[in-house]
Chains A and B, each alone.
Chain A
Amino acid sequence: MNSAPLLKVADLSKTFGGVQAVSRISFELKEKELLGVIGPNGSGKTTLVNLITGFVRPSSGAVLYRDKPITGLPPHRIVSLGIARTFQMVRPFYHMPAFKNLIVPLYSPRVKKMAGGKYGDRDAVALDLLEEVGFERDAYVSYKMAGSLPQGYLKRLELAKSMALRPDLLILDELFSGLSLAEVASIVPIIEKLRIQGKTIIMIEHRLKELFRIADKVMVLNYGRKIAEGSAKEVMENEEVKNAYLGSEE
């Protein structure tokens, strides 16, 4: 395994008008690792995702991807380098059929480059991808308007949209939130399959049980600061974590 980190975040900070949303966070992520990020509401998890993916410009600090700084690049450039994300609040194109939603990422320069300058039949690729995330092949559901799909399908669609970009690093922002246990159980194998394909994954999650089962390491945020990092077990035993986050639930 390559020992150089795929992603390196150094002293990343973001202030929103006096509020320290993310404060001096540093971490490294090796290739093929799965990092879980947890923390109470408002602890800066989603802001961290926005900072890495270029949706929000950091106040200070740097993000290095494959040893190259990507801080301040626009989102579409960062995607082209191979970092894809999902949104916590799903963002489908409600007025398009589900499979047409995937045409948008399949149209991107990155996919074109990886497919060798040709797109092929995007509709067919889109339908295959939807099947991969659990849209029943012969059912009508792939052709339904995204606006008429239930939450479980929308979350899968969101995942398929990021997978369509053939990313090396996948950032999943609360993919499990709002889903039933059965639905979560059906998505976990998809993520495990992505890991076998060699993807590096960052998962932001509130569902600790499911996350701890698949994560290599876990990072805990609180008030924008990193308060712990390590294996699931180490993190759970950390006193500060217990006080700040897990303790409050007891």
Chain B
Amino acid sequence: MKRRKERIDRGIKARSEDIFALSSFREMAYLLLPRALPVVGLLCFIPLLSEYWREVFISTATYALLAISWDMMICAGLVSLGQSLFYGIGSYVAGVLNHYWGLSPLFTIPIATVAGGFLCTVLLLPVLRLRGIYFAMVTLVLPLMLARLVEATRILGGTEGLTGLDPFPSQLTAFYVVQLGLLAALFGFRRVIGSDYGLIIRGISENDRSVMSAGLNIQWVKAQVLFMGASVGSFTGAVGTHLDMFAGMPGFALDYSIMPVAAAVVGGMGTFAGPVVGAFILVPLSEVLRALGALRIVFYGLFLVIFVVALPEGLFHYIQRKYHQFERWVEVEQ
């Protein structure tokens, strides 16, 4: 007799789907807990840690933001290997505004978010028609090219970069700016993708011709998605600039492109929460492994491989399933 696993929604999931969820605390808790967990954890508990670990979680949130930005693009079928383009552009825009015009971070960060997002969108607009690996190649090359351009033409401080920029008033301020940005992006994007507009975005990745024949301009929608992703990436770059008090070629470094992809793969693509979970595992892990010295990369790589093989769907998809559904074995009639 063959058996197969059957998955059934938990009763509480069905009960808490509409307005009746308000009739019981248990249902409300079921809905609220998963959403409150990251908010309370990020804003209330992590700040209590030591200064060193706060620093780690600032950098974690940076990668989480880049991973969210990557995830937004993958929702529309845009495979990007160049989140560093967004980071670098955002970092340079904030750096220039601060260095040449003396604007404070209060202004440079919002301006860099919007202007950086716009600049990146314009830069990638000509290749937006490309699909899959072709688009990925261009996004991979573009930031590397821009870095060499800065080096060769010696504009914007050349290899030295723009130094001595304004820092945040305190580490805690920086911490809260990044974490609030992360929460805004996380919940904002989840909202967008859950709406009817989000259906269009996901439709493009699944079947773009079908969306075209439904009378929608897919290039325009893709440009909007790109802008959303690029803005988040540029925000991250702008924050990074004021953290390091420096904007330069390292902003276009490959780390900012590869790490978000790894985080999204470990955490689970297309959910936004997944990539955040992924980043919050991978970056602190890399810090913990620092004690191992040169072997660090080996263990880190091993962990990644084990994770991808054991849970190819991603951690968040797995948790989400366990939370909403239970499984049982049923016998299959031959």
Interface residues of A (CB under 8 A from B): 53, 55, 74-76, 79-80, 84-85, 87, 91-96, 100, 103-105, 107-111, 122, 161-162, 164-165
Contacts and interface: CB of A to CB of B under 8 A. Distances in A.
Which interface residue of A84, A93, A100, A111 has the most chain B CB atoms within 10 A?
Answer: A93
**Most A-side CB within 10 Å, residue of B202, B210, B215:** B215
B212 A104 contact: no
Contact of B213 (A85, A107, A111): A85
Contact of B207 (A55, A93, A165): A93
Contact of B202 (A75, A95, A122): A95
A37 to B, nearest CB: 18
Contacts of A76: 212, 215-218
A53 B209 CA distance: 12
Contacts of B214: 79, 104-105, 107-108, 161, 164-165
A94 B200 CA distance: 13
Given A55-B212, A110-B215, A111-B215, 14 more contacts: A75-B213, A87-B209, A91-B209, A93-B199, A93-B202, A93-B203, A93-B206, A93-B210, A96-B199, A103-B196, A104-B199, A107-B199, A107-B200, A109-B216
A92 B214 CA distance: 11
21 contacts: A55-B213, A74-B217, A76-B215, A76-B216, A76-B217, A80-B215, A84-B213, A87-B210, A91-B207, A91-B210, A93-B207, A96-B203, A104-B203, A104-B210, A104-B216, A108-B215, A109-B215, A122-B196, A161-B213, A164-B214, A165-B215
Contacts of B56: none
Contacts of B216: 76, 104, 107-109
Contacts of B213: 53, 55, 75, 79, 84-85, 87, 91, 161-162
B202 A96 contact: yes
B211 interface: yes
B197 A107 contact: yes
Contacts of B209: 55, 87, 91
Interface residues of B, number: 18
B140 to A, nearest CB: 27
Interface string B9-41: 000000000000000000000000000000000
* Cβ-closest 4 pairs across A and B: A79-B215, A108-B215, A105-B214, A91-B210
Interface of B: 196-197, 199-200, 202-203, 206-207, 209-218
Contacts of B211: 104
A188 to B, nearest CB: 23
B30 to A, nearest CB: 22
Contacts of B197: 107
A107 B211 CA distance: 10
A44 B281 CA distance: 55
A103 B209 CA distance: 15
Given A103-B196, A107-B197, A107-B199, A75 B212 contact: yes
Contacts of A84: 213, 215
Contacts of A111: 215
A163 to B, nearest CB: 12
Given A103-B199, A107-B199, A122-B196, A95 B215 contact: no
Nearest to A112: B215
A236 B18 CA distance: 59
A105 B213 CA distance: 8
B206 to A, nearest CB: 5
B203 to A, nearest CB: 5
A95 B202 CA distance: 9
A99 B197 CA distance: 15
A111 B200 CA distance: 15
A91 B214 CA distance: 11
Nearest to A119: B196
B175 to A, nearest CB: 38
A109 B218 CA distance: 12
A95 B198 CA distance: 13
Contacts of A95: 202, 206
A127 B272 CA distance: 29
Contacts of B203: 93, 96, 104
A93 B197 CA distance: 15
B71 to A, nearest CB: 16
B123 to A, nearest CB: 23
A87 B211 CA distance: 12
Nearest to B214: A105
A92 B217 CA distance: 18
Contact of B206 (A55, A79, A94, A164): A94
